[in-house]
Structures are given as C-alpha cells and as structure tokens.
Amino acid sequence: MANQKGSRYVTTMVCVTCGAEQFFDDAVPASLTCPKCQSTVFRQFTTPTERDEASIAQLEEQARSVSYGDASPGTAADDVRDLDT
C-alpha cells in the first residue's frame, strides 16, 4: 500500500453504506471491498500531501467558512433564518 518513492497525494475511499474509511498513498485497488460491511460502493477524496501553488489555491477556493454566525455562501442575510430565537 505504501509508495516507497513518496506519493504527492493520499486517496481516501469512504464507504457509502457505513462510512468506513480506507487510505491509500499509492494506486487504489481495482476491486475494493469494505472490511466492515462488505459493500463495494465508495466515494473518493484525494488530498495533496505536498504544498504547491495549485493545491493551495484549490483548497482556498473550495474552503467554506465555519465561523459561528456566518451565512452559507450565495445567500443573503434575509435568506437565512436566525435559529437562536
């Protein structure tokens, strides 16, 4: 599973059925089965392990604010209902 030369990415495979995660820093096997529920349906997420301009820009553009009180992107203040009241 480990790449001796050092991979630039870590691939996370998340089972759609139970949410179990499997991590690969080399190629993902062609036939992958969840060890927890035996499902074969996964969502794939690739995360860069080395800093470079392109990966930093991509992560900054895709990042969402998680600060308390921030509205969702693309919504006006009138569109968001105050849940504290």
Q: What is the pLDDT of residue 49?
A: 81
Phi-psi sector, 65: left (phi>0), alpha (psi -120 to 50), beta? beta
Residue 58 lies in a domain: yes
Note whether residue 82 is domain-resident.
no
pLDDT given for residue 3 in this prediction: 43
pLDDT in tens, 23-59: 998 889 999 999 999 999 999 998 888 878 887 887 7
Give me the number of domains the chain comprises. Answer: 1
In 3D space, the residue among 62, 6, 18, 8 whose CA is nearest the CA of residue 43 turns out to be 18
Question: Is residue 6 over pLDDT 80?
Answer: no
Question: Taking every pair of C-alpha atoms in the chain, what is the biggest distance, in angstroms?
Answer: 56
Work out the mean pLDDT of the chain and round it to a whole number: 78
> Residue 57 falls within a domain, yes or no?
yes
Q: Is residue 47 part of a domain?
A: yes
Asked whether residue 81 is domain-assigned, the answer is no
In a domain, 71, yes or no: no
Quote the domain boundaries for residue 1.
1-63
Domain assignment of residue 12, yes or no? yes
Q: How confident is the model at residue 1 (pLDDT cuts 50, 70, 90)?
A: very low
SS3 14: strand
